[in-house]
Amino acid sequence: MIMFHSKPRTLFSPISSFFFLLFISISFSHEEQSLTYLWPLPSNFTSGTYSLSVDPSLTHSVIGNGGVAYSPLLDSAFDRYRRIIFKHAGFGFGKGFGRKLRGSISVVPYDITTLNIVLHSDIEELQLGVDESYTLVVSKANESSVGGEATIEANTAYGALRGLETFSQLCSFDYTTKTVQIHKAPWSIQDKPRFAYRGLMLDTSRHYLPISVIKQVIESMSYAKLNVLHWHIIDEESFPLEIPTYPNLWKGSYTKWERYTVEDAYEIVNFAQMRGINVMAEIDVPGHAESWGAGYPDLWPSPSCKEPLDVSKTFTFDVISGILSDMRKIFPFELFHLGGDEVHTDCWSNTTHVKEWLQKHNMTTKDAYKYFVLKAQDIALSKNWSPVNWEETFNTFPSKLHPKTVVHNWLVSGVCAKAVAKGFRCIFSNQGFWYLDHLDVPWYEVYTTEPLEGIHKDSEQKLVLGGEVCMWGETADASDVQQTIWPRAAAAAERLWSPRDSTSAKNVTVTALPRLQHFRCLLNRRGVAAAPVINFYARRAPDGAGSCYDQ
Ligand SMILES: *[C@@H]1O[C@H](CO)[C@@H](O)[C@H](O)[C@H]1NC(C)=O
Ligand SMILES: *[C@@H]1O[C@H](CO)[C@@H](O)[C@H](O)[C@H]1NC(C)=O
Ligand SMILES: *[C@@H]1O[C@H](CO)[C@@H](O)[C@H](O)[C@H]1NC(C)=O
Ligand SMILES: *[C@@H]1O[C@H](CO)[C@@H](O)[C@H](O)[C@H]1NC(C)=O
Ligand SMILES: *[C@@H]1O[C@H](CO)[C@@H](O)[C@H](O)[C@H]1NC(C)=O
């Protein structure tokens, strides 16, 4: 005897089926059927020609090595994705409506009633290079199975998270049957990221961003499979974070309302980890640190010359050490960003006691810059962090940096090539393309920029950890940060996730633009204020009336 699975599906009369087919042919002619509307594009996949219905009471099961697995991370992820997939009200979604109609229509089961998640390890530690690969199979019932199949297999829970995102992008609401459908089944997807580090930098010093906004950004990052939030918490303008060891530091916040408690920071790290996203914190020393002196004026060379931090005082390095000790408890990620960019040393050479210190130690200001950066690196290393520094440190004294240093490119092209040639790891963020506050960079320039440009040796390519788009905060706050990040961050996200040959050497107007427009509308549907893709000036409102999918 055949047992039908849980919730029944309602079917329409032949007349509405006719309109259903008509609707399909109209909506299909709108889309380029050879394209696969997944973003970022999986590394390897095949699709078919039929459609499957998804049960609105979709359940999931997690199977580990030793049988049924307990994974709070995947349970809550499944709940999130259920809410995303079943957004529309339809049959079986709300109780009253379905009941009223049930008597008059025939009933068949849904094709997909359970999402199976198979984990090949119980690794739940999130670190750089964690295995994010997964396979996803969606197929219909055959003679040996009652229902259709939807299975994600992954080596870690984080791979399964990426598979869940892909599954959610396969699902679409059908307005005629009022059911969620997976078109172009059967699907067989084998996927893995091209780069281990796929970052977004968020600046909460130039403008304070409320916790809920940071969480929205993190949530939206997971839709594009980005996996590192580089939190540029503090800069010269404000110091919003609580540091228990030096409790006056957050006197450098703009107001007492624009602050993050230690508990807030834990909460953000935990929220991100649940979405497979690491948080890399930054203190940008010695150059971008004027706000530190609001609480401890001794950190300034003098009250009239406030930046860089005073290199001559032991107190300066005590404070850095205290900050890093407190932060180490919050941020488990193995990378920590020490800044090191734009160090203008006038306040060192023209403040009497610092100048005397330089002379006593026979140092030029350039020597003192190196001394400062290396001392900060030692502190980070002593806390078991690998230091990341902006490229000026590498450009100025490449042979002195600790070998574990990750060089963070921003100024010009070719820096990663030089850094990896000297054996350093590198993160690509060329400002000409991947600075999101540069509003006149169109999506296709973001998309076609290649982190491995000019790097040919396999051993050197491996040292490029990946890249990061940077959302500097001078002209972005809670009112416009999401539409400045999206959709262009997604262009970089596909470059960093998908195989190089699927993102390069083609006409991107054909291969990528319609898919990116689709993804932008997906973000809008999920409540993310992503701006139109083809407006030349980023984050600008649409030019006029029109479909989301055309702008
Ligand atoms: C892609 O999938 C096909 C079919 O499963 C397989 O034959 C092929 O080896 C895969 N290619 C890669 C690069 O994984
Ligand atoms: C039938 O479906 C089951 C489960 O979905 C699958 O494991 C099996 O490979 C399928 N068999 C055929 C012949 O397609
Ligand atoms: C020292 O240099 C800073 C930065 O260039 C400048 O603003 C300041 O006026 C200088 N002070 C003296 C005493 O020259
Ligand atoms: C000071 O440094 C310079 C350049 O590094 C070096 O040539 C010189 O010998 C040093 N002088 C003393 C007194 O250490
Ligand atoms: C790319 O395709 C678009 C749309 O078909 C076309 O207008 C454009 O000329 C093509 N660009 C190139 C460089 O071939």
Q: What is the pLDDT of residues 280-291, one digit of tens each?
A: 999 999 999 999
Mean pLDDT score of the chain, rounded to an integer?
91
Q: What is the pLDDT of residues 297-348, one digit of tens each?
A: 999 999 999 999 999 999 999 999 999 999 999 999 999 999 999 999 999 9
By most ligand atoms within 8 Å of CB, the mutation choice from 510, 515, 550 for ligand 5 is 510
Residue 390 has pLDDT above 50, yes or no: yes
Residue 103 has pLDDT above 70, yes or no: no
Q: What is the pLDDT of residues 147-198, one digit of tens each?
A: 789 999 999 999 999 999 999 999 999 999 999 999 999 999 999 999 999 9
Residue nearest ligand 2's atom 5 by CA: 149
The pLDDT confidence band at residue 19, using thresholds 50, 70 and 90, is very low
Question: Which whole number is the average pLDDT over 425-437?
Answer: 98
Residue nearest ligand 5's atom 7 by CA: 509
Task: Say if ligand 1 is within 6 A of residue 190 CB.
Answer: yes
* Position in ligand 2 atom list of the atom nearest CA 143: 1
Task: Say if ligand 1 is within 6 A of residue 44 CB.
Answer: yes
* Cβ–Cβ < 8 Å for 260, 242: yes
538-542 long-range Cβ contacts below 8 angstroms, 24+ apart:
538/436, 538/439, 538/440, 538/441, 538/442, 538/484, 538/488, 539/439, 539/480, 539/483, 539/484
- The answer to whether residue 468 is catalytic is no
Which of left, alpha, beta for 430 (phi over 0: left; psi -120 to 50: alpha)?
beta
Domains of the chain: 8-19+30-191 (3.30.379.10), 197-550 (3.20.20.80)
How far is it, in rounded angstroms, from Cα 182 to Cα 161? 19
Ligand 4 centroid from CA 177, angstroms: 82
Coil, strand or helix: which one is 265? helix
Residue 231 has pLDDT above 80, yes or no: yes
Terminal Cα distance for the chain, rounded: 52
Tell which residue, 181, 183, 202, 176, has the closest CA to residue 279.
202
Residue nearest ligand 5's atom 10 by CA: 507
Ligand 2 centroid from CA 108, angstroms: 21
Ligand 5 centroid from CA 509, angstroms: 6
Check residue 25 and give its pLDDT: 35
Question: Which whole number is the average pLDDT over 239-265?
Answer: 98
Residue nearest ligand 3's atom 8 by CA: 305
Q: Which residue of the set 342, 450, 453, 494 is catalytic?
A: 342
Ligand 2 centroid from CA 152, angstroms: 15
Q: What is the token pair recorded at 57?
A: 């009471």
Residue nearest ligand 1's atom 10 by CA: 44
Q: Please report, rounded to a whole number, the percentage of residues in the chain having pLDDT higher than 90.
A: 85
Task: Say if ligand 2 is within 6 A of residue 143 CB.
Answer: no
Q: Which residues contact 38 (CB under 8 A, 6 or more apart)?
A: 45, 166, 169, 170, 515
Strand partners, 10: 107
Ligand 5 centroid from CA 31, angstroms: 17
How far is it, in rounded angstroms, from Cα 168 to Cα 182? 9
Torsion on CA atoms 489, 492, 498, 499, rounded to nearest 10: 180
Radius of gyration of the chain (CA): 26
Ligand 1 centroid from CA 191, angstroms: 10
By most ligand atoms within 8 Å of CB, the mutation choice from 36, 43, 44 for ligand 1 is 44
Task: Say if ligand 3 is within 6 A of residue 355 CB.
Answer: no
Residue type, 387: P
Q: What is the token pair recorded at 515?
A: 């898919």
Check residue 147 and give its pLDDT: 78
Check residue 464 and give its pLDDT: 98
Residue nearest ligand 5's atom 6 by CA: 509
Check residue 7 and give its pLDDT: 36
How far is it, in rounded angstroms, from Cα 381 to Cα 136? 40
